[in-house]
Amino acid sequence: MTTDTASVGGDPRRLLSDVRALAHRVRLDQRMTWAALLVLAAATLVAIPFDWFGMRVDCRPDGGCTYARRGMLFYWPAAMVLAYATIAVLYVRAARARGVGARVLPYAITGAATTVVFPAAWLAVNLYFRSNPYPDQPLPYWFFVLDRLVMPWGMIGVALLVLAWLERNTALALFTGGYLALVLLVLPMSDGFGPPHFGIRAGMAVPQLIVGAVLLLGAAGFALADRRRRRTP
């Protein structure tokens, strides 16, 4: 940009392209994608012992077992609120230090709002099966996808989509797409890996470990890309 007054017959195309380039640079400076993913990875990994030790498992003499993941129910609502508050603070502080405002608030609010989805769904399912018999036939596939979506890991993905939209961040949108495919379609987030390789607790812990690792790898990737960009003049 120069200090010349743009002449009327000048180059509007160049002016517009300058405006777009400036806007893009500001958006890049407002991003702290790696920090958001790091906090969410930490929340996911810390959840594992809560789930492990908070799980109530009742095994019958015939070998069949029932379980209740009480630890998750108590851990995630508090952890989500804390995680999104931490992300918001980190974003605002970093943006302020760089000299710009932050656009993270809608993401933090969406994230915190998703906190209620998991306990609400858990309560709804419990109330339903109290007065309705459990179906004899296998449940449809969409039920499992929906079940995984309302779980904390699905909600993390939904909130990340909001962040990608706020930041006009294509890389994050692609990462989140892959992440959601993993937690909704690939990993058994709600019922865990079964025997003979895993017991109930370990079978539940492994998918969470994979999700935590994926978020951690994402954080490392975005941090590296951010660092590389800042080094490039």
Partner 1 sequence: MTDAPEQDAAHPVVGLDDVVHQRVRLGILTVAHEARRVEFGYLRTQLDLTAGNLSKHLSVLEEGGLIEVEKGYEGRRGRTWITLTGAGTTALADEIRRLKLLITRVEATVAGEDPAGR
Where does this chain touch partner 1 (CB under 8 A) — which range of 23-31, 140-148, 151-159, 184-192? 23-31
DSSP string, 118-163: HHHHHHHHHHHHHHSPPPSSPPPHHHHHHHHHHSHHHHHHHHHHHH
Instruction: Check residue 162 for interaction with partner 1 (CB under 8 A).
Output: no
Q: Which of 40, 48, 79, 102 binds partner 1 (CB under 8 A)?
A: 102
Instruction: Check residue 4 for interaction with partner 1 (CB under 8 A).
Output: yes
Instruction: Check residue 147 for interaction with partner 1 (CB under 8 A).
Output: no
Nearer to partner 1, 23 or 78 (CB): 23
Residue written as tokens 């920090």? 35
Binding mask 39-78 for partner 1 (x = CB under 8 A): ----------------------------------------
Nearer to partner 1, 26 or 127 (CB): 26
d(C-alpha 112, C-alpha 127), whole Å? 24
- Which residues are within 8 A (CB) of 206 and not within 5 positions of it... i.e. 6 or more apart? 192, 193, 198
Are 215 and 182 contacting, i.e. CB atoms less than 8 angstroms apart?
no
- 3-class DSSP state of 32: coil
Instruction: Check residue 27 for interaction with partner 1 (CB under 8 A).
Output: yes
Residues that bind partner 1 (CB under 8 A): 1-6, 8, 12-13, 15-16, 18-19, 22-23, 25-27, 29-30, 98-103
